[in-house]
Structure 1
Amino acid sequence: MTFNERVQIDPGRASSGGGPRRGGRLALGGGAGGLIVLVLALLMGGDPGSTLGQFTGTQDTAQREVTAGTPEHCRTGADANTYVDCRVVLTAQSLDAVWAEQLPEQTGVAYEPPALRLFTGSVSTGCGYATSAVGPFYCPADRTAYFDVGFFQELVDRFGAAGGPLAQEYVVAHEFGHHIQTLLGDIGRAQKDPQGPESGAVRSELQADCYAGIWAHYADRTPAPGSDTPLLQPLDDADIRDALSAAAAVGDDRIQESAQGRVNPEVWTHGAGEQRQKWFLAGYRTGEVQSCDTYSATNLDDPEGLR
């Protein structure tokens, strides 16, 4: 899924900052035996304070200066097709355009864009101090989506996901899905039920996948503000395969099998790879927020059961 080359990237949409971690620590929930699996599961993002415990590390050195504004080399859709950091920013603009239209129309709730932060190495957030090992994440405390773009190569090399653009854009859309949950008042449900195959945490993550699918449904037909040209070119089957590949690669079952050679659903926080694929497709095929009500689903393996 590529961007129309002449569309403009908003120079004020993102900020950047962060640097190599020198001291401090990052404490994650879960017992010692499951810690590695939980860290890997968190690589797909989510609410770090609710899904796996809270970011509680402290930074011993001064945080690198935060630079306001999108990186200077990110100017057009052509740059987004070339550079991953530019792709993240323009994907955020596309998400803003889609949700600014669809959220109030479908739910009556006004869309407020999340902040977007690009970082390398480590970053201070409203949820605490985080390192790149966490992967992309959304922090509801400061309503900011955080991305170290090096994660996208990790997604390919370590987890076997496809390397196409929509695989990367899906990750951005998933994190924005958590922001939609915040706006709708649902993000706290994961805190009450943090792990297990039917848990609130899993339902929260699958819903964010479904919201990512809603974005994909409208992305190639929603014009940029003040323009009649969509930011993105039409999707094809290869694009959808890329997104589904990323969704499957970060399923709890795939990660557990790779990390420890067995699957234990009782400590799931994000859902099985096949479930993640199905909920993404539910949003993509319908474009309807009501199709993403994972909290009402009696069978998380069957999104169609909601309709």
Structure 2
Amino acid sequence: VSPSKPAWRCFSYEEVDQATNGFHPDNVVGRGGYGEVYCGILADGRAVAVKRLAAAAADEKKEKDFLTELGTVGHVRHPNVSSLLGCCVDRGLHLVFDFSTRGSVSANLHDEKRPVMTWSQRHGVAVGTARGLRYLHKGCARRIIHRDIKASNILLDADYQPQISDFGLARWLPSEWTHHAIAPIEGTFGCLAPEYFTHGIVDEKTDVFAFGVFLLELISGRKPVDGSHMSLLAWAKPYLKDGVVQGLVDPRLGDGGYDAGQLRRLMFVASLCARSAAAWRPTMTEGLEMLGW
């Protein structure tokens, strides 16, 4: 596929309606400010997720976000980035993706009804997400800042391979590296880099910061902001500073339920990625090297 020509197609309303059983409530797998995500099966048997922007919600800003996502992800091809299959613009706006059978990292980490994610699964998710991010920043035809990297936007396939999804906030990076001032501030508190929520400044290091917080979430099994309103980063900092593995690692993994070398590497990379000064954070290429890949 040439970088200038997206590999997606337009679906008819009948196709997406049939695939989702008439957008049946039982098929809803996610909700957000834009509308809902439905799982479904295409006529050829392919499992898909259909992201629908409700017609009632189709104000200008949401339409712009939809077109941003379509324009951004339509050119993206990487095993660790959610693949756009196509769109449907009849009776509302719809994006059609491959369906990630295991749902989000967030659901797998925090839903008590699900089995505890093993260390090897978590480590694989960390490395795969780093690869996907490096591709977005450096590898695709037009470089992309995602701006909303978090556990609920990293989806898992049947083999627990991660795929970065939800490009509604994404921005193109200019070919010459520079940072952008963006208003209004959007994203998820607890994952936002300091320069973003204080000055609205965004560059690839914004994603690097969020990736650092994501690593801490994988290691600890804790949410970015818990009930006490203390950020995960603030909670983790003393452990990172002193290199105390036992205090940081998810107790559900049990003694010896993790690879100590891999854990120390993840802690080290997380501590560098989540530095408050953007210039001191590594690039995703450097982060991957430090993870041993």
- In our comparison, the structure showing a higher alpha carbon Rg is 2
| Higher strand content, 1 or 2 | 2
| TM-score greater than 0.5 by the shorter chain | no
Which TM-score applies when normalising by structure 1?
Answer: 0.29
Which TM-score applies when normalising by structure 2?
Answer: 0.30
